[in-house]
Amino acid sequence: MAIGATTTLRARLFGSPGNASLSLLIVALLLWGLTHGLDWAVLSAQFRPDAEACRALDHAGACWGVIAEKHSQILFGRYPQQEMWRPALATALLLALLGQSFLRPRAGLVWAWAVVAAVVLLLLGGGAFGLAAVGAERWGGLPLTLLLSLAGIAGALPLGVLLALGRRSALPAISVPCGAYIELVRGVPLVSLLFLASFLLPLFLPQGLTMGVLGRVLIGLILFAAAYLAEVVRGGLQAVPEAQRLQAAALGLGYWQTQRWVILPQALRLALPALMNSFISTIKETSVVTVVSLYELTGALTLALAGDPDWRPFFLEGYLFIAAIYWLICFALSRLSLRFEHRRARP
Amino acid sequence: MVERRRYWRAFAYQALAIAAIVAALAYLAHNTAQNLQSRGIPSGFDFLLQAAGFDIGDSLVSFSAGEPYWQALLAGLANTLRVAGPAIVLTTLLGTALGLGRLSSNALLAGLCGAYVEVFRNIPLLLQLLAWYFVLTDLLPPFDEAWRLGGAATLSKSGLSLFGASLTPEFLAVLFGLVCYSAAYMAEIVRAGFGAVPRSQTEAAAALGMAGRDIQLQVVLPQALRLIMPAAANQFLSLTKNSSLAIAVGYPDLVSVANTALNQTGRALECVSLIMGVYLALSLATAIAMRVIERRLAWP
């Protein structure tokens, strides 16, 4: 049965009287919504950073001037004004390698990540090669969002692998604590782990040892993400056929040799799409760290607008701007991971 | 001989693991005790009986400053449940509508529902909450010029009033944010559930002469529901955990009240454990309830 694409589409839109009236209703609604949206966002909008003109609009049109005025503070937080090219370059590097890693994930990228991580930390922190030193407390905005997500996942993955192996262990004194940790963390909200990192970690450290808020929040994120990654990895481990383990045992491999060379490479490859999804979730979750006063993208927006009476009324435009950034990154990464999955599924 | 060696090796590993865990916990406890002592921070749960010193305006049970902390925390927990309950109901309704919409034979409707899912699940929930809160508190008209929605409801900067009952903008922001975000995930769960029922089931039922309505209700729905229920329960749990983001818009939920108590009394260890304990209990209760329901739903 060869049916042309237009014929199919016509059937799917106007196949029956009910379907046809539904289609017309949706078209009418879309037209109404798009014309009003277009009018607000473009035709009646103010693009120049002119607070006076924006107020005169009285929200009948968008005030994109707020982005023109505040974009560097929104994107890069409290980073010194004259050094803005450094976080910009760092962000571009991270995004480029991130896209590459989702498009064509392979082991060799680990080295690329090591180099980029070093370059990014050097760019942000400075203090060498003629770059002025910038303390971590002034880092913020989009590069901080990316840095927290990447470092969070990089730290959580080894811990998650160990927890997953531990939970599957035949020894109860190992499997029970690992299982308990995973379920405990998955049962509580991220905010409570960030409170733990921010209020309790200083108490846990030996006297005389202190840690900056960035490090503490990162530990909180890692402890949280590890529990979820452990379940993802466990899913991969369960999908590796039992015969693989038996054959490795028949070859005389010990437990760690079997896991390292036989089971884990297969399990992680199987779990890769789910791991990519976890990473996308982590990007969204980093927005929560603003609750404990770390100014990543969401926090940087609040920082840029909340204290400025001229621009405060145009928070909505600011929210839409950073929502678009989050959306672009998360949507693009999820599409890339889907493409990767499809490509791999093909024989 | 080999068996015996294996037995002792397992024993040694486990003894080592237990020793390592106990040692790590003891080390943390020792550090904590020392730090508390040197900084002069009092510890213990006795503060729960002291007067809280702050009001909670927006709660089911009225709470005023003279009452003790434990009652404040209870009011906070009640607020968590008061927003999570309706959010779960509305998420289920909106999510099911969107999920079925995506499966619709109408291409426009399916595309529109798909676009909703892709937009709302790729934007952080916190950002959505903040945006709702800003719209509700800054862009709505003041109380005197409230919008009238029918005869019984008014909507203004002071919130929604419905048949005399009033809902604060903080409550509404958390509710709308949670529902819009979770519904995107719920839609995917519903779509996957119905999508996983093989087409042959519908065809077989039709061959038996069943009517279209009966096919959906008696053949497709029960099978889809068995796939949807566990995933939906997970989604409801993460919705309840996500309601803790209420702290960002100042809705006095459990986490927000506990945070205030923490800042006032300095009992960080106690307050963080309280939050975690309550959420763990909620998770456990949901897990048990789900197991009971699943057993009821299982084929005889």
pLDDT tens digits along A317-333: 899 999 999 999 999 88
Residue A221 and residue A143 share a domain: yes
Q: Taking 70 as the threshold, does the pLDDT of residue A282 lie above it? A: yes
Radius of gyration for chain A, computed over Cα atoms and rounded to the nearest angstrom:
25
> A338 and A324 in one domain?
yes
Euclidean distance between CA atoms B162 and B160, whole angstroms: 6
Q: Do A160 and A259 belong to one domain?
A: yes
- Judge if A10 and A121 occupy the same domain: no
Tell me which chain B residue has its CA closest to the CA of residue A145.
B124
Average confidence score pLDDT of chain A: 87
Task: Report domain extents, chain B.
Answer: 1-40, 41-297
For residue range A7-42, list pLDDT tens digits in order: 777 777 777 777 888 888 989 999 999 999 998 888
Q: Which residue has the higher pLDDT, A228 or B149?
A: A228
> Cα separation of B155 and B166, whole Å?
10
Interface of B with A in 22-41 (CB under 8 A): 28, 31-32, 34-36, 38
Q: Can you give the residue range of the structural domain that contains A25?
A: 1-43
Q: Which of A51-55, A262-266, B202-206 has the lowest mean pLDDT?
A: A51-55
CA A84, CA A66: separation in Å to the nearest integer?
A: 18
Q: Is the CA virtual torsion A320, A322, A325, A326 positive or negative? A: negative
Does B300 score more than 70 pLDDT? no
CATH number at residue A307: 1.10.3720.10
**Beta carbons of A196 and B106 less than 8 Å apart:** no
B247 → closest Cβ in A200, A203, A291: A291
Length of chain A, please?
A: 347
Q: Do A187 and B283 touch (CB under 8 A)?
A: yes
Kindly state whether residues A33 and A128 are assigned to the same domain.
Answer: no
Pairing state between β B153-156 and B159-162 = antiparallel
DSSP code string of B4-21 = HHHHHHHHHHHHHHHHHH
CATH class of domain segment(s) B41-297: mainly alpha
Highest averaged pLDDT of the listed ranges A317-321, B32-36, B149-153: A317-321
Nearest to A39 by CA among A67, A53, A66, A60: A60
Q: Cβ contact (<8 Å) for A206 and B31?
A: yes
Average pLDDT on A228-236 reads 93
Percent of chain A, pLDDT > 90? 33
Q: Is the Cα dihedral A326, A300, B168, B280 positive or negative? A: positive
Look at residue A230 in the predicted model and tell me its pLDDT: 94
User: Quick count: other Cβ atoms within 10 Å of Cβ B289?
Assistant: 11
The residues, ordered by sequence, that sit 6+ positions from A211 with a Cβ below 8 Å of its Cβ are A201, A202, A205
Same domain for A129 and A82: yes
Together in a domain, A50 and A39: no
Query: Which residues fall within 8 angstroms of residue B88, CB to CB, at 6 or more apart?
Result: B236, B239, B240
Quick one: pLDDT at residue B298?
64
> What mean pLDDT do residues B164-177 have?
88
Look at residue A181 and tell me whether its pLDDT is greater than 90.
yes
| Facing A13 at nearest CB: one of B13, B108, B127 | B108
- Chain A environment of B248 (Cβ under 8 Å): 290-291
What residues have CB less than 8 Å from B263, skipping those under 6 apart? none
* Residues A52 and A38 grouped into a single domain: no
Asked if pLDDT for residue A142 goes beyond 70, the answer is: yes
Residue A77 CA: distances (Å) to CA of A72, A204, B168? 7, 30, 32
* Distance from C-alpha of A88 to C-alpha of A98, rounded to nearest angstrom: 15
Q: Which residue has the higher pLDDT, A151 or B51?
A: A151
Alpha-carbon span A318 to A69, nearest angstrom: 11
Which residue does chain B place closest to A184, by CA atoms? B280
Give the count of domains, chain A.
2
CA-based nearest residue to B235, from B203, B188, B297, B174: B188
pLDDT (average), residues A72-83: 87
More confident residue, B185 or A347: B185
φ/ψ (deg, to 5) at B67: -85, 160
Buried b / exposed e across B171-209, counting CB within 10 Å, b at 16+?
A: bbbbbbbbbbbbbbbbbbbbbebbeebeeeebeebeeee
Q: Looking at residues A290-315, what average pLDDT do you find? A: 88
Give, for A280, the enclosing helix (H) or strand (E): helix A264-285
Residue B105 at interface with chain A, using a CB cutoff of 8 Å: yes
Predicted TM-score of the model (pTM): 0.89
How high is the mean pLDDT of chain B? 87
Residues A227, A248, single domain; the answer is yes
Edge-to-edge strands of the sheet including B147-149?
B147-149, B153-156, B159-162, B165-167
Confidence of residue A346 (pLDDT cuts 50, 70, 90): low
Q: Are residues A6 and A110 in the same domain?
A: no
User: Looking at the structure, do residues A192 and A327 belong to the same domain, yes or no?
Assistant: yes
| A124 and A221 assigned to the same domain | yes
- Contact status, residue A228 vs residue A152, Cβ threshold 8 Å: no
* Closest-CA residue of chain A to B286: A187
pLDDT tens-digit map of B44-99: 787 777 877 777 777 777 777 778 888 888 888 999 999 999 999 999 999 999 99
Share of chain A above pLDDT 70, in %: 98
Give Cα B290 distance to the centre of its chain.
15
Q: Exposed, middle or buried: residue A209 (CB in 10 Å: 0-12, 13-18, 19+)?
A: exposed
